[in-house]
Structure 1
C-alpha cells in the first residue's frame, strides 16, 4: 500500500508513523481524529489470501471483545476495522513495545525470576481464557507479547550488575503485558 505520514484513512485515522512491517502488511500509529486517541492500524496487503486471514482475525477479535468486554484477560482490543483501497485495515489499541523489542533495547539483560513469573502468569491467564472459549493463539512468541505502554522505571538488577528499564502499568505500578 502506498501511504505516507499525514494520510488520513476513512476521514478519521491520520497516520503518524510506522510501527512495524511483516509478511501480511504494515502497522502504523495513527491519531483518531474523532477522539484524539492514538491507535495502531494494521494495513493488510491486498492479496486475497491475506484478506481472508484478516477477515478471520477480525471475527476472532470481535469474539474476544464480546467475551471479555471489561478487558480482564489481557488480549489486544480491536476498536474498528474498514477497507481502504482494497486493503483491510484493523484498528487496535496502541500498546507499548514487545517483550523482544524491550530485551533488544536493553542489550538482552534478562528479566528477574519475579518478573518472569509475573509476565508468565498474565500470558497463562490470557491463553487459558482463549482456550476456555475454544480459541487458539497460533503465533505466540516474544514479538507478539506487548507491554501496555512504553512508560518505564529504571531499576538496578543486582545479578546483572547493571541498570535495566522495567515497564510498569501507569495506573497500578505493576507490569502488564498483552497477547
Structure 2
C-alpha cells in the first residue's frame, strides 16, 4: 500500500468518504459531474481525481491516482447510466484475456458504479492520434509513420477477431499514442463503448461515424468484422491526406439502409446507380447539397493518391503498396474486403517488396475487381452530377428492391475502370509521380 509518513493514503482519505458521498449525493444523478480532488470508491480501491484530461458526449476522462497502489490511471466516468455501460464492461472483461501490450489494446484495470455513474479505470496514455495531427496543423504523416500505426491497429483487430469481438468505432479519436516522446508512434486501440460480439451483429444496426461508415452499414446489408477493416482504410486515408476521405455531414441522414431507395435506383437494364440530384429531391423532398472537397480535382482514386502530396522517386514503390492496401481495405463488397491477418502480410505493412509492380496490378484487378472499383464509387460520391430534365420513372424504380452485396457491379464500366487503372500504373513513374518532383 502506498503511504506517506507511515500512514497510508487510504487511511488518510477513507474518513472523507462520507463527506464526498454527501456532497455528490445531493446532486441529481443525471446532472452529476465529478470534480477535481473528489474520491471515488470501487470494491477494491479508491481513486482521487487529480485533473480532467478529456471529455466526450457520454463521459469524462479523469487523471487519477489509485490510493491503494499510488499508480496514475485514467478513469472514464459516464455522465449518465445506461445499458451501454453494462455492455462495455462485459466486453472489457472479455478483452482483458488478451495481452494488452502485445496486441496494442488499452489495459483495463477496474470497473465499478459509484452513485449511479459507471467508472472504468485504464492505463494512462499520452494523446489521441487526431490530437497529434491537429498539433501539426493537420499535416499528413509520412508513409513510414502510416505503416507503423496501421500495422499496430491491424494487430489489435486480429486479436479482437480471434475472440469474436467487433470494435465498430475505429477513428483517429480512438487511437492513442502511448508515449510519443519516448516511443514515437507506439499506439493502442481505445474506447470499447460500441464494441460487441460478432454474433450480435444484425442487419439494420447503426454504427460508425458517417465519414468512417462502411457501405454495408449504410445500405442495411449483412454485417461482419469487415466493418472494422473499412475503418482501417478510412484511417489510413486520414493519415495520408490529413483529413477525412469521405464527407462527415449530409443534408439528410443516411441510416442503416432505411433510406437506401432514396439514393439508389435500378434502371431498365436492372443496373444500380445513384439517382441524379433532381430524382433524389423528387423521391425524398430534400434538395441535395453538392459540397466542394479536396477530392474534386482528381480524375480518379489513383490520381488522388498521386496528387496527394509531393514526395521523392524513392517513395514510388511504397506509395504503390500503400494504394494497393488502401483499396483492399475499402473494397465495397465486405465479403472480399481484406482481413487483418492478410493485411499484416501485405507488402506495405510487412515491407516485403512485391516481385513486380505489374504483378501487383494483376492482383488488384483480380481481387479488388469482384465489384466496381473504388475509384468508380469514389467518383460517384464526389463528382458534381449534372441536373437532368424530369422524366417518368421506370416501373423498376417504384418497386421495392432487395439488396445484395454486388449492387454496385457494372461489368462494362468495371472493365473500362480496370483498363484505366492498368494504364495509370504502367506509366506511374513517368507521367504521374515524376511530375511532382
Contact 2:64–2:72 under 8 Å retained in 1: yes
Structure 2 residue 130 is matched with structure 1 residue 130: no
Count of residues in correspondence between the two structures: 155
Q: CA deviation at 1:121?
A: 0.3
Q: Which residue of 2 aligns with 1:36?
A: 70
* Aligned residue number for residue 88 of structure 2: 57
Point out the structure with the larger helix share.
2
Verify the 8 A CA contact 2:128 2:173 in the aligned structure 1: yes
Q: CA offset at residue 70 of structure 1?
A: 6.1
Q: Secondary structure at the match of 2:153?
A: helix
In structure 2, C-alpha distance between the alignment counterparts of 1:127 and 1:2, rounded to whole Å:
33
Q: Give yes or no for contact 1:61–1:77 (8 Å, CA) kept in 2.
A: no
Give the structure, 1 or 2, with the largest relative contact order (CA under 8 Å, sep 6 or more).
1
CA distance in 1, matches of 2:186, 2:58: 27
Q: Which runs of 5+ in 2 are unaligned?
A: 1-31, 190-437
Which of 128, 134, 143 is equivalent to 1:104?
Answer: 134
Q: Which has the higher strand share?
A: 1
- 1:126-153 CA deviation, whole Å, 9 max, x = no partner? 011111211001110000000112x42x
Larger radius of gyration: 2
- The residue number in structure 2 matching 1:177 is 187
| Root mean square deviation, CA, Å | 1.5
Residues 1:7 and 2:38 are matched in the alignment: yes
SS where residue 126 of structure 2 aligns?
Answer: coil
1:16-165 paired onto structure 2 within 5 Å: 16-47=50-81, 51-66=82-97, 68-69=98-99, 71-149=101-179, 151-152=180-181
Question: Is the 2:100–2:107 Cα contact (8 Å) retained in structure 1?
Answer: no
Describe the SS at the equivalent of 1:175.
Answer: strand
User: For residues 89 and 178 of structure 2, what CA distance do their matches in structure 1 show?
Assistant: 21
Question: Cα deviations across residues 80-112 of structure 1 (Å, max 9, x unaligned)?
Answer: 011111001011111110100111112222211
Q: How far apart are the structure 1 equivalents of 2:100 and 2:116?
A: 32
Q: Which runs of 4+ in 1 moved over 2 A?
A: none
